[in-house]
Structure 1
Amino acid sequence: MEDCYLTFDGHDARLRHAAVSPNGQFVLTASDDSTARLWDACTGSFLQRFSGHTGRVYSVAFSANGSLAVTASDDQTVRIWSVDSGSSFLHRRGVNAAQAWIARHNAGVKTAIFSSCGLIVLSACSDGSASLWDVESGEKQRSLIGHAGPVNSAVFSLDDVLVLTPSDDCSVRLWNAHDGALMRIFQGPEQPVTSAVFSPGGELVLMTSGLKAVLFSASGECVGILLGHEGCVRSGAFSADRNVVATASDDCSVRLWSTEGGECLRTMAGRYKGASSVVFCPFPGFGRCE
């Protein structure tokens, strides 16, 4: 594949997800081998293994200050870890002694992320719900219930006020994170919706479903359809200026698209066995460190 700067090689099974640290120095990966791993973004060197899950790890995310990581797993749990040590983050519940931060669900967990303030974890579950958890206490704050199928991911808006949840029920739901109220339903193609994200300013919503990615205005109007992949589109992301969208697909490619015109700007293919996750690095020169 052209312009491949680094390869992070070491997991013993399929890689599900990747995240870049806020300072651009590290990469976290999630795998079917039941682990998450930390890598040096400049050299590709392996740094840390996060072990404790007993099922596939579907997602990883950094906290805003980069000190913590959160993982979601098929073993029906979400865990928080110290990035430096690779050990479980400890919290206290009432007067109990410190214990590992583990949020237990009733089914496999597809995604978990931190709010930008770092005080809340948002998780998406195969039982059709999303949940908000208090990082300090480990207690569940509220559940977002209404989907008729598994929730495949969940994301906060930039100000942590709104939550998007894409589902196998062919829809994306918009929720108020503070009170759990359902605010809008974005109806996608008649296929499961694999991911949904806000544009950086919140003016647009990108959903991926089947062979396409679809752009919506914040009011729910479809404003663009990105067609060209030959396999299921698993993930999508906006560039920081929202002018470019990246999509990852089972057709073993990542594509870059113009947000305004919808044309495909570039196709990157050749090394993948299906691309399941795509992110933009927040810093220029990523992977080209001195």
Structure 2
Amino acid sequence: MGKLLSKSTSNNDRYSSMPHHTGVTPSQSTVESDTFRQFEQVHSDAVNSVSAISPGVCLSGSKDKSVLLYDYNTGVVQQVWNGHDKEVTKVAYNNDLHTVFSASRDKTVKLWQANQISPVKTLTGHELVVTALSLNSDNTRLCTGSRDNSLRLWDIHTGSCTLQNAITRNLVTDIKWGKNSHQLVSSSEDKEVRIWDSRTLQVSHSFPRKQYIQTSCDISDDLNYCISSSNGFGGNGCETTLWDMRTLSIVHEYQGHGETVGSCIFMPSIANRNLVATTSNDCSIRVWDRDSAKCLCYCVIPGSGPLTSVSSYPDGRLAVGSFNLGVHIFDFHCGAGGTFSLERKAQY
């Protein structure tokens, strides 16, 4: 069980840490509450990836080579899996089979199950670090991407690679599989966002190349939109782009982060608003109105280092991974008069 620590932060400390280049007025911005549940950090190094599993439970993968399932309501580590030779880059969870998936710099993907120390399967074939993974809706196939320029499709039950495709300079950074769909979206260090047909693993469309490396991507449940986030520095780049998958064009740019945007997701709709969440190397998490591109609220975590990953629960609660300060849990609130807030509830 994690040790519960006390935490309070003065208003002066919090506001002095907030970015001033964004143009977001104070009424639209939010900082953390004075108190939150702070447990002893369970990872000994940077958290590279988080996945919201069920209310109160989060899966995380770390540079310390471990994969960990944690109950942040009680501060209990439910299970730790060790077995990768190098850092874990991405994690995912299969709800039907209760199986955990982890990608690593050791070029493998491992499948884990509860109450088992050793991996159920180890998927090998990528020639460089595996940087991305995503499951299809019926949890039968897994798509992985790598810095070896390739995507691979795997049969989860047999562990065999059924399809693969490599494109020159396609150093994959992220993959998302469309809900109940054959469509996949990928982002890449070649600055492109691509739509793939999973039946053939061929590219069906490439969006216009961006100015900066694309670091993350997501696809909306209705398959109408995808988003991608950009590398950058000093406010240049550092945006998230909303793409229309029907017209194959840019709809909006979400601009306000001051450094690389490391992750972006579509959140569940709340109060009839379509939402997007982003995290950045500028130590902030932001929630945006998808359709107006307005930043509804944001929170800065002083000392966190880059915020590496974000995942959403059905009620809008967010899990965020950080480079220095472990995993953070936020509640997103829609208040009276159309006010919005982010409140940090836990850290471990």
Q: How would you bin the TM-score normalised by the shorter chain?
A: 0.7 to 0.9
The code of the aligned residue for 1:214 comes to: R
Indicate if the aligned counterparts of 2:173 and 2:186 stay in contact, CA closer than 8 A.
yes
Q: TM-score, normalised by structure 1?
A: 0.84
Supply the AA of the counterpart residue of 2:277: L
- 1:184 matches 2:256: no
Range 253-262 or range 158-167, more displaced: 253-262
The structure whose RCO (Cα within 8 Å, separation 6+) is larger is: 2
Residue equivalent to 1:241: 315
Contact 1:14 1:31 in 2 (8 A): yes
Q: Which residue of 2 aligns with 1:288?
A: none
Cα distance per residue 1:142-196 (max 9 Å; x no partner): 0112421110111101111100100112110000123321111101312111011
The residue correspondences of 1:1-290 to structure 2 (distance < 5 A) are 1=42, 2-23=75-96, 25-41=98-114, 43=116, 45-89=118-162, 100-168=163-231, 169-201=237-269, 203-210=274-281, 211-218=283-290, 219-230=292-303, 231-242=305-316, 244-260=317-333, 261-268=341-348
Per-residue Cα deviation, 1:103-157 (whole angstroms, up to 9, x for no partner): 4242311112211123112111101111011112222110112421110111101
Unaligned runs of 5+ in 1: 90-99, 269-290
Using the TM superposition, give the Cα deviation of residue 101 of structure 1 relative to its aligned residue in structure 2, in angstroms.
Answer: 2.8
Q: What CA RMSD, in Å, does the superposition of the two structures yield over aligned residues?
A: 1.6
Percentage of identical aligned residues = 22
Tell me the alpha carbon deviations over residues 5-24 of structure 1, each in whole angstroms, 9 at most, x when there is no partner.
11111000010010011426
Query: Conserved in 2, the CA contact under 8 Å of 1:20 and 1:28?
Result: yes
- Alignment check: 8 A CA contact 1:209 1:234 kept: yes
Distance (whole Å) between structure 2 residues aligned to residue 188 and residue 36 of structure 1: 35
Q: Does structure 1 retain, via aligned residues, the 8 Å contact 2:193–2:209?
A: no
Change (3 A) 1:239 1:105: farther
Structure 2: state its 5+ residue gaps: 1-41, 43-74, 232-236, 334-340
Change (3 A) 1:229 1:74: farther
In the aligned structure 2, how far is the partner of 1:238 from the partner of 1:42? 26
Pairs aligned (count): 257
On the 8 A contact 2:83/2:118 being kept in 1, the answer is no
**Range with greater deviation from structure 2 (48-57 or 105-114):** 105-114
Q: Which moved further from structure 2: 76-85 or 36-45?
A: 36-45
- Amino acid aligned to 1:212: S
Determine if contact 2:112/2:121 at 8 Å carries over to the other structure.
yes
Bigger CA radius of gyration: 2
TM-score, normalising length: structure 2: 0.71
CA distance in 2, matches of 1:258, 1:24: 28
